[in-house]
Structure 1
Amino acid sequence: MTIEPYLAVAVQARAQAVEALPDVASARAAMRGAIEALEADLRGAKAFLEKFHGLPLKLAVLPEYCFSGFETGRVADFADRAAFAPDGPEYAALGEIARRLDLFLAGNAYETDQHFPGLHFQTSFLVDPEGEVVLRYRRLHSMFTPSPHDVWSEYRRHYSLEEVFPVADTAIGRLAAIASEEILFPEVARAHALRGAELFLHSSSEAGGLVPTAKHVARRARALENLAYVVSANTAGIAEGGLAGLSADGNSAIIDYRGRVLAEALSGSNVNACAEVDIEALRRHRRRTGMSNLLSRLRTEPFRETYAQPVHPADQLLCDGKPRMPERSFFPDALAAIISARARKGYI
């Protein structure tokens, strides 16, 4: 099936933190209200962008944790306040929006898992125009929240490697997700690209500015080295997040498979990071035998033994095979132990 060019937009939206709200009920109500308000904004964006560009808007990517804000550890019941259930009402509401607007809707949220009671994972998702969640990626590199790698032995009992690195084969291409800071870890993008991913959904919440940040550089690098589009949506600030409101704002962007920035937003809530996606052109490029076809020129075998030596050990949140939710201090303490071990070996 030939995929005609279409528009993608990185929606730069203001996030509402719910951690400081008085109770669970008010937090859940705030998230429901934010989801309901999203539809009007997307409807207006779709009408304007299609009229301006003359192409159908098929994909909208939302910022990281835009309905809940980030977790700081201030409350013990954060999951009850802010985490989506995989079959919960939040996904159903987002599915209805995607269905009514006839577009693919991607985003990021904290999520519970029936196999790991007491834990929650940061999850990037994709909802299709039928209203179904067709992609769910759980963030692996996380500094202050649990990762599937922290319960890896048990996680792999329930999920295949294809579910750890999911790629959705859709009517607009083969899509995969990269969660926020993981754009800095090339292995995540590569694992998806080697499974066929053509476009990376990157929900983020980061500092914007005139000087390129690490994520600015990494977005272009991940696009170029994997011959993939990157649609990167940043927050337009975080309300009630415990820091200056616009500290995570600006520079949402769309990058093509040659690493070229096609569109980039300035600060504030907007849909200015909108550009044409041409999946067929990407596929033609991937099939060429030139030097620029970096993905096909990759040699993986020489690196196998190096990668077999773990840096960050797995299963740190398993105790007698059962998951545990640690104190927040566990995460920096675990990192300090890893750094010390590498220093003793003379690696740093």
Structure 2
Amino acid sequence: MSRIAAVQMTSGGSLDSNLQQAAALIAQAVEQGSELLVLPEYFAYHGCRDIAEIARNERDASGPARQFLARMARQHSVWLVGGTIPVAVDPETGGDNRAAASCFVVNPQGEEVACYQKIHLFDVDVDDARGSYRESDDYCHGSEAVVVDTPLGKLGLTVCYDLRFPELYRHLAGAGAEILLVPSAFTTATGESHWELLLRARAVENLCYVVGANMGDRFHEKRPTWGGSAIIDPWGVVLSDMAEGPGVVSADINLNYLRKLRQKMPVHEHRRFSVVKTSD
């Protein structure tokens, strides 16, 4: 049995203010006994405009947000999952001046042990104050699914819009993931209808715990985000959640319970369908 937490934030355009808010909420989660903490997408830079410059500053572990994650993990001796940070991509490895939306996993010694680059980018039109989102203007697609083995369980890393693509989660579960992490900045317009529904669906169909850490500023004039951060068990039960505003949701997870469910209902072994590409 271990305790995990989803940190919900209302980040703005100031890096310093965002990191101060994150530090206070991390301390709150640690006081609740949490050993694994998940920050929301864009936790440090939500509302900041010059993504290219930010990404250059975060190119390596000396970047301000990456240093912050390392310092917090060491200070509190916890596993910390840093939402996303824009990181410059080396042109020699296929970069084109756009950033990678990078989700770092930091161990209690402050070491970056894994990084997932967001695969599905939010290029959609939404009925809210902003109307149009084109994430690919600033970011390039990631291409690799990531599962991280930790003493608390095997973590499957995803981000926000990934939540709408169940094949990614099936792949992660097939690779051994037991806890699926979803740091997000899910919009109010879509979140009200789909956020909890999708979190619970990903939990049930994969028999995994799911941790959704969302931004929670529902009435922001330009970028309203739904909140609703939640921890879901493998049977689809909401163990802990909150509505809007900054805060922490935490819950105990029991991997023995998860493994018993998988023994009773071995959905991963029962799969009969695969897609075979055929020529025209």
Give the shorter-chain TM-score range: 0.7 to 0.9
Q: Which runs of 5+ in 2 are unaligned?
A: 124-134
Alpha-carbon deviation of 1:167? 0.8
Q: 2:70 aligns with which of 95, 102, 107?
A: 95
1:187, CA displacement in angstroms? 1.2
Deviations 1:203-224 (A, max 9, x none): 1112459x95222211111111
Q: CA deviation at 1:70?
A: 5.6
- Paired with 2:274 and 2:176, the residues of 1 have a C-alpha distance of 20
Q: CA deviation at 1:235?
A: 0.8
Residue by residue, what CA displacement relative to the aligned partner does 1:55-80 show, whole Å, maximum 9, x if unpaired? Answer: x3111111110211167xxx6x4220
Q: Does 1:124 align with 2:103?
A: yes
Hey, what does 1:203 align to over in structure 2? 183
Tell whether the 8 Å contact from 1:59 to 1:103 is kept in structure 2 after alignment: yes
- The equivalent of 1:147 in structure 2 is 140
- Which residue of 1 is the match for residue 228 of structure 2? 251
Which residue of structure 2 lines up, in the alignment, with residue 335 of structure 1? none
Amino acid corresponding to residue 195 of structure 2 in structure 1: K
* CA apart distance, 1:8: 1.1
2:132 corresponding residue in structure 1: none
- What CA deviation, in whole Å up to 9, does each residue of 1:83-142 have, x standing for no partner? 632423321221110111111111222222223251211122211111112221111111
Once residues 190 and 86 of structure 1 are traced to their aligned partners in structure 2, the CA distance between those partners, rounded to angstroms, is: 31
Return the letter of the residue paired with 1:174: K
Between the aligned partners of 2:239 and 2:270, the Cα distance in structure 1 is: 26
Who is 1:180 aligned against? 160
Which of 22, 35, 44 aligns to 1:58? It is 35
Note if contact 1:184-1:214 (Cα within 8 Å) is conserved in structure 2: no
Once residues 66 and 128 of structure 1 are traced to their aligned partners in structure 2, the CA distance between those partners, rounded to angstroms, is 18
Q: Do the aligned residues in 1 keep the contact of 2:180 with 2:210 (CA within 8 Å)?
A: yes
Structure 1 residue 32: Cα displacement = 4.5
Trace 1:326-345 onto structure 2 (pairs within 5 A): none
- Corresponding position of 2:59: 85
CA distance in 1, matches of 2:16, 2:256: 38
Change (3 A) 1:147 1:190: farther
TM-superposed deviation, 1:38: 2.5
Kindly name which structure, 1 or 2, has the bigger radius of gyration based on alpha carbons.
Answer: 1
The answer as to whether partners of 2:120 and 2:141 remain within 8 angstroms in 1 is no
Looking at structure 2, the residues matched to 298 and 197 of structure 1 have their Cα atoms a distance apart, in angstroms, of 17
Q: Are 1:202 and 1:231, in contact at CA under 8 Å, matched by a contact in 2?
A: yes
Whole-angstrom CA distance in 1 between matches of 2:27 and 2:240: 20
Look up the equivalent residue of 2:38 and give its one-letter code. V
Higher strand share: 2
Name the SS of the counterpart of 1:88 in structure 2.
coil
- Partner residue of 1:274 out of 246, 250, 268: 250
Q: Deviations over 1:165-222 (max 9, x none)?
A: 111111111012111011111011112111111101111112459x952222111111
Letter in 2 for 1:297: H
The one-letter amino acid of 1:253's match is: A
Identity %: 27
Kindly state the Cα deviation for residue 31 of structure 1 after the two structures are TM-superposed: 2.1
Report the TM-score, using the length of structure 1 for normalisation: 0.67
Out of 3, 10, 24, which is 1:7 matched to?
3
Aligned partner of residue 234 in structure 2, secondary structure: coil
Alpha-carbon separation, structure 2, partners of 1:70 and 1:296: 44
Structure-2 separation of matches of 1:201 and 1:261:
15
Instruction: Specify the SS of the correspondent of 2:162.
Output: helix
Q: For residues 9 and 257 of structure 1, what CA distance do their matches in structure 2 show? A: 16
Mapped contact 2:116–2:146 kept (Cα < 8 A): yes
Runs of 4+ in 1 over 3 A off after TM superposition: 146-149
How much has 1:275 moved relative to structure 2?
Answer: 1.1
Q: Which moved more, 1:32-41 or 1:103-112?
A: 32-41
Is the CA contact (8 Å cut-off) linking 1:9 and 1:274 kept in structure 2?
A: yes
Instruction: Give secondary structure in 2 for the equivalent of 1:137.
Output: strand
Q: Deviation of residue 40 (structure 1)?
A: 3.2
Q: Which residue of 2 aligns with 1:104?
A: 79
* Preserved CA contact (<8 Å) 1:125 1:177: no
The 1:174/1:206 distance shift into structure 2, 3 A limit, reads: same
CA contact (8 A) 2:22 2:43 kept: no
Corresponding letter in the other structure for 1:140: I
Q: What is the CA–CA distance in structure 2 between the aligned matches of 1:214 and 1:266, rounded to whole Å?
A: 14
